[in-house]
Amino acid sequence: MQKSSDYFWSLIIEPGWVQASIWYVDKESKKAEVVAVSPPSHWESEEELLSAADACLSSAISELPEDIPEPTKTVFGVSPSWVEEGQIKAEYLEKIRTLCGKLSLTPSGFVVLTEAIAYFIKAQEGAPISGVLVGVGADAIDVSVFRLGNLVGTVSVARSVAITEDVIEGLARFKGQDIPSRFLIYDGKEGQLTEVKNELTSFDWLSSDKVKLLHIPKVEIIEPREKVLAVSLAGASEIGEASSVEFEPEIEKEGFKTEEVESNVEEVSEGAASFGFSDRDIKEEFRQPEESGPTVNPAPSLVNTAPIFAKRNLEILDKAKAYALGLWTKIDNFDPKMPKNSFVFGIVGLALLLILGLVAWWVLPKATVTVYVSPKKVEAEDTVFIDTKASSSNIDKKTLSGKSVTTEVSGDKTMSVTGTKTIGDRAKGEVTIKRSGDALDLPSGTKLVDSGTSLAFTLDDDVSVPAGDLTTSGGLGIVKASVTAADIGANYNLASGGNFKVDDYSNTILTASNDNAFSGGSSTEITAVSEEDRKDLLASLTNELSEQGKDKLMEDLDSSMMLIEDATTATASAVNFDHKIGDEASNLKLSLDVETKGISVSKSDLSNLAGGALRDKITGGFALRPDQIKYQFEVVSTKKGIIEAKVHYTANLLPEIDTTEISKKIVGKSRAAAEEILSATPGFTRNEIKFSFPLPSFLATLPHLTKNITLEVAAEK
């Protein structure tokens, strides 16, 4: 027999399940000897995790002889989703810290469950594994790919209705990787794994376009006991250099056979690092950084906070017995002077309290049990007519009575302006106009074009050009006039000596030139509101308010009615911009009122139409429930108040289940026993049990009256 200090716990914690074992290392044979294995226990909340872990530890410790004290040192096996970059995530580390404190455990290390299983299989088969490990949880699955014993990677996929699709999605994330054709599935419940195996085995993997497999995969189930053996071997390999594991219960348990898994290789050289065992004591993980304050150590400060193992329960019971014996001794030797009636009343009162407590425990507790099942999806399409003038629906003619609904919503929105605008001053100057011919009057605004740059200028005032004749001694008629550039910009600041063409006059009879340079022309580009800015802002805010209007219509609808979303219209009733087009601004604000109109129809009438369209698709054993039908409308046309629309029905058929009969079967049962009964429900995926108020674990059975059990059947999403 080993020393008690050589005994260790293995505690596996998965989403929804926990399991424990006790083992030691035989130093001579280098074997991990597992002496006790608990059955898996279900948990959901953190409080239930503590109770479930305690139940597993108590179950395992009950297998040991009385002369062996219970272990404290613990190796934790955790789900891959609990670990990130080789460390347990903070939120899960806190759960382990709480367990260690409440259950007086001393953490020795942790191992990732998938890597422990891979190492265990290597020891069992004598060769490194190439395969896919699938951890099947209630809300998600973990998909880990191993090649020649090396972990390629792990991904987590949220659960859907079809487990096969979830596995395909997980494997598809290993892009460019060859996927081994060996699948190993595990979780805390063997019954569910058989269903999963059947689904994976029946799927045509070779025809999948998302995952390429060279062979039809072989699907194997990792039993719960094999998982605790794997974690025990992992711990023993690190602590005692063990290379094999053997299950030898101290007290032979029904259903457990002594078996040995031994490596076919002489030595496992990889050591603990090959399967993910942490090189540092997990107690170091529990310590906060020095700068954050005092060290948080689960031992010894938390050792005696909640002694709730089975042996501790026996000690408490012994103390209760001793107290009762002492009380009886006092009663047997009570003072004759004490009034006898007081003693009688005390006994009667105590008995009454006990009876009332038992009656209350039997009558008062209530529970809501939700059974989630895999639905069967069916679809159909039909053409319907919605008449807003009809007072009632005609199901035979597929005509629904529609009701017009209207609402108005308002809102503001501001956006950055993207338009630009150029501003500045026009250049000015003086020109000399020369005339050959009769006197000529030129009005203000007459156009002059520079012959060198083709830039245009205009006369500022009316100008009278005197007559002139080159053939006489009088010469040309000359006059000076002020001009202004036709546009802004510094490019109009012309140098002196330029020649200009005056309006449509020939240069032989009328010319102009500037003796001095023009000046004053400038230009600057600014941000200004453009027409596109206003259009974009109006479209964006209209869409937002249209959705708000649609949501408001649905909120205001009677619960018996459904809004035909595709038939809603939105119209802007008031549009107010804070800037006009061309205004200099960095932001543009719009205030808008939108009126939303829609059509609603009776849910009951829709359900009747759907029942007729889906009738031929409902097979035996399944039932169509109105709350499991979804509708999608597409408006085809609207004529004279009658809307023609295509409607697509999608229904999740649920198995026909006698909830009354199931309630009778689980009445008064423990949570574990009830879950076992519920798992036999057709299409079962998982269940939830919620009690009206918490009870101690030894009293937490389902209500003893069927009327206090509310059993619901829901489709797994």
pLDDT surpasses 50 at 338? no
Q: Residues 304-316: what's their mean pLDDT?
A: 34
- 536 burial class (0-12, 13-18, 19+ CB within 10 angstroms)? middle
Residue 349 has pLDDT above 90, yes or no: no
Q: Which of 223, 154, 211 is nearest to 184 (CA)?
A: 223
Q: Omega into 300 within 30° of 0, i.e. cis?
A: yes
Does 515 score more than 50 pLDDT? yes
Query: Binning pLDDT at 50, 70 and 90, where does residue 512 land?
Result: very high
Tell me: do 217 and 230 sit in the same domain.
Answer: no
Tens-place pLDDT, residues 660-717 = 888 988 998 888 888 889 888 877 889 999 988 787 877 788 998 888 999 888 877 7
21 or 255, greater pLDDT: 21
Contact predicate 553/563, CB 8 Å: yes
Q: In terms of domains, do 86 and 214 share one?
A: no
pLDDT tier, 311 (very low <50, low <70, confident <90, very high otherwise): very low
Count CB atoms within 10 A of the CB of residue 694. Answer: 10
Query: 370: pLDDT confidence band, cut at 50, 70 and 90?
Result: very high
- Going by DSSP bridges, is the β-strand pair 131-136/140-147 parallel, antiparallel, or unpaired? antiparallel
User: Which of 85-89, 246-250, 441-445 shows the lowest per-residue confidence on average (mean pLDDT)?
Assistant: 246-250
For residues 19 and 151, state if they share a domain. no
Across the range 628-637, mean pLDDT stands at 89
119 vs 116: CA distance, rounded Å: 5
Same domain, 210 and 141: yes
Sign, CA dihedral 174-178-181-186, equals negative
C-alpha 126/C-alpha 261 separation (Å) is: 10
Beta strands in 472-549 (DSSP E): 477-488, 499-502, 510-513, 522-527
Q: Residue 302: pLDDT above 70?
A: no
Average pLDDT, the chain: 81
Residue range 225-239, pLDDT digits in tens: 888 899 988 888 887
Per-residue tokens: 72: 């404290």
**Looking at residue 134, what is its pLDDT?**
93
Residue 382, in any domain of the structure? no
In a shared domain, residues 279 and 184: no
- Residue 267 predicted with pLDDT over 60: no
Q: What is the pLDDT of residues 284-300, one digit of tens each?
A: 444 433 333 322 233 22
- How far is Cα 601 from Cα 562, in angstroms, rounded to an integer? 5
- Residue 523's Cβ-count burial label (10 Å; 0-12, 13-18, 19+) is middle
Residues 51 and 150 occupy one common structural domain: no
Least Cα distance to 381 among 403, 401, 398 occurs for 398
* Residue 644 counted as domain residue: no
- Tell me phi and psi for residue 256, to 5 degrees: -105, 130
Distance spanning both ends of the chain, measured CA to CA = 52
Give me the pLDDT at residue 653, please: 81
In-domain check, residue 682:
yes
- Among 221, 249, 271, the domain-final residue is 221
Other residues' Cβ atoms within 10 Å of the Cβ of residue 448: 23
Q: Is the pLDDT of residue 356 over 80?
A: yes
Q: Token digits for 109?
A: 């290390």
Residue 621, SS3? coil
Say what percent of the chain tops pLDDT 90. 26
Tokens read off for 71: 């272990």
Residue range 135-139: average pLDDT?
86
Can you tell me the distance from the alpha carbon of 457 to that of 426, in angstroms, rounded to the nearest whole number? 10
The answer to the question of residue 92 being in a domain is: yes
Asked whether residue 156 falls in the same domain as residue 27, the answer is no
- Indicate if 29 and 104 belong to the same structural domain: yes
Query: Looking at 502, 527, 552, which one is the last position of a domain?
Result: 527
For residues 310 and 62, the answer to whether their CB atoms sit within 8 Å is: yes
Q: Are 449 and 494 found together in one domain? A: yes
> What is the structure's pLDDT at 31?
85
* Contact status, residue 96 vs residue 32, Cβ threshold 8 Å: no
Structural domain includes residue 539: no
Residues ≥6 apart with Cβ < 8 Å to 115: 151, 234, 274, 275, 276
SS3 3: coil
Could you give the angle at which helices 671-678 and 659-666 cross, rounded to 10 degrees?
Answer: 150
Whole-angstrom distance, CA of residue 79 vs CA of residue 92: 10
Instruction: Please report the pLDDT score of residue 518 as a whole number.
Output: 95
pLDDT digits (tens, 9 = 90+) for 104-113: 888 988 899 9
How far is it, in rounded angstroms, from Cα 670 to Cα 185?
27
Q: Are residues 21 and 34 in the same domain?
A: yes
Closest CA to 541 of 583, 579, 593, 587: 593
Q: 3-state SS of 117-140?
A: HHHHHHHHHCCCCCEEEEEECCCE
User: What does the block give as tokens for 443?
Assistant: 């009005």
Concatenating the DSSP letter of every residue in 198-259 gives: HHHHHS-GGG-SSS--SSPPEEEE--HHHHHHHHHHHHHHHHH---EEEE--SS--TT---E
Residue 343: pLDDT above 60?
yes
Predicted pLDDT at 69: 78
In the chain, DSSP finds a helix count (H) and a strand count (E) of 13, 36
Residue 275: domain span: 4-116+225-292
pLDDT band of residue 508 (cuts 50, 70, 90) is confident
Q: What is the mean pLDDT of residues 521-538?
A: 91
> Residue 555 burial (CB < 10 Å; 0-12/13-18/19+)?
exposed
Per-residue pLDDT tens over the stretch 403-443: 989 999 999 999 999 998 889 999 999 999 998 888 999 99
Partners of residue 601 on adjacent β-strands: 562
Q: How far is CA 354 from the centre of its chain?
A: 48
Q: Which residues contact 376 (CB under 8 A, 6 or more apart)?
A: 619, 622, 652, 653
pLDDT tens digit sequence for 557-569: 888 898 988 888 8
pLDDT of residue 295: 27
Given pLDDT bands bounded at 50, 70 and 90, which one contains residue 492? very high
Among residues 292, 325, 344, which one ends one of the domains?
Answer: 292
Within a domain: 445: yes
Does residue 157 fall inside a structural domain?
yes
The pTM is what?
0.40
Which whole number is the average pLDDT over 133-159?
Answer: 89
CATH code of residue 142: 3.30.420.40
- CATH for 438: 2.40.30
Q: Is residue 178 part of a domain?
A: yes
Comparison of pLDDT for 413 and 334, the residue scoring more: 413
Query: What is the number of structural domains in the chain?
Result: 5
Neighbours of 38 (CB within 10 A): 25
Q: How far is CA 633 from CA 380, 395, 650, in A?
A: 12, 17, 12
**Among the ranges given (166-175, 570-579, 653-662), the one the predictor scored with the smallest mean pLDDT:** 653-662
Q: What is the pLDDT of residues 448-489, one digit of tens each?
A: 999 999 999 999 999 999 988 756 555 788 999 999 999 999
In 3D, which of 245, 241, 272 has the Cα closest to residue 258?
Answer: 245
Which residues, in sequence order, are bridge partners of residue 441? Answer: 464
Same domain, 179 and 274: no
Q: Are residues 431 and 505 in the same domain?
A: yes
Q: In which residue are the tokens 């012959």 written?
A: 451
> Which of 196, 217, 198 minimizes the C-alpha distance to 206?
217
Summarize the confidence of residues 6-23 as an average pLDDT: 89
Asked whether the predicted pLDDT for residue 537 surpasses 80, the reply is yes
